[in-house]
Amino acid sequence: MNALYSLLFVFLLVLIPLFGVDAAHLRTFFGVCIPTTAFIIFVVGFIYKVIIWGRSAVPFRIPTTGGQFKSFDPKLFPQNKLDCPQTGAQTFFRMVLEVFAFRSLFRNTAVSLHQGKDHPIVAYKSSKWLWLFAITFHYSFFIIALRHLRLFLEPVPFFVNGLDFVDGLLQIGAPTMYLTDLGLLAGVLLLLGRRLINSRINYISYASDFFPLFLILAIALSGIYMRYYAKVDVIAIKELTMGLMTFNYVVSDVIGVSFFIHVFLVSCLMAYFPFSKLMHFPGVFLSPTRNLPNDSRAKHHVNPWNDPNIKAHAYADYEKQFGVPMAEVGLPLDNPENGKAPEEEA
């Protein structure tokens, strides 16, 4: 039901500009006011969330690890410097691979239960398909966003022209079909299908999981329709987008309604972004499970807000104080003498 509600909500979002642009004569509202407001919400919300996360206290090292820690005998137990980094440089390379290659997702495994001859058998195997869908989706989305800079900048930067050339390298169709258009569409469909088809993933999925996928799918489909079928006036669109940058906009009557639908959906995504799970984009850089070295055994980290008047209570002192009740309930003691009552010692 969460998927159905999300789909219906996105469908209603499409209907708003479809009937509002021409029927209500709101071309300026949908072409200027909505995207400008959405951009402001995006920037302010993004910065606010990053500041709040950045101010969160992280007094101790809590990185997630998946390899051998640096040992006293590195020849016998060699350290896994990427899965268990102990220095800032090792952590940096771990972050680079995490951000640009989704390394932790690449190491994803799938678990299955099989009935053996005498007892059930739990089996694990490498599962790379989720990594493939995710990296295709994210890189396609990123390149498409960069390609759209040609609508806001004049002259167009050289790297945008380079991306445009490489993206349309196959030279299929007129206008040229972009590889990232297919990549984005395939990626979002596969990620959406995973939540719909896999019963375990579907069971734990909320509307907040389906809505951004359906919204991005609608954005991709409206953009593809606008480029390959509606054939909108790109010059009039660039005149509008350049006007938004200089606060001297011109909303031409030759711009089709498909453009306003596309812009409205993108505006909804921008306004929704800072308050959604999509904020994992900046969150990965601020995650203490990723951006901290695992050096808690090599360095002593003191909680910065500890009361200096309260002295540290070592385990030996703790055992000396509570040794008798610990011995009574059968807890092991490092020093058996601490488990004896005072009269026994006497």
CB 43 within 8 A of CB 270: no
Q: Is the pLDDT of residue 346 over 50?
A: no
CA 220, CA 214: separation in Å to the nearest integer? 10
Q: Would the pLDDT of 296 be above 90? A: no
Supply the mean pLDDT for the chain. 88
> Which phi and psi (to 5°) does residue 109 adopt?
-125, 155
String of DSSP letters for 47-84: HHHHHHHHTS---S------SPPP-S-TTTS---TTTS
pLDDT(1) > 50 = yes
Instruction: Report the half-sphere exposure of 151 (CA within 13 A, side-chain side).
Output: 15
28-51: per-residue pLDDT in tens? 889 889 999 999 999 999 999 999
Count the Cβ atoms, other than its own, within 10 Å of residue 182.
Answer: 16
215 pLDDT above the threshold of 70: yes
Nearest partner of 327 among 337, 315, 313, judged by Cα = 337
What's the start-to-end Cα distance of the chain, in Å?
72
SS (H, E, C) 130-176: HHHHHHHHHHHHHHHHHHHHHHCCCCCCHHHHHHHHHHCCCCCCCCC
The 3-state DSSP class for residue 111 equals strand
Residue-wise pLDDT tens digits, 101-154: 998 888 888 888 888 777 888 888 888 888 999 999 999 999 999 999 998 888
Mean of pLDDT values over 194-222: 91
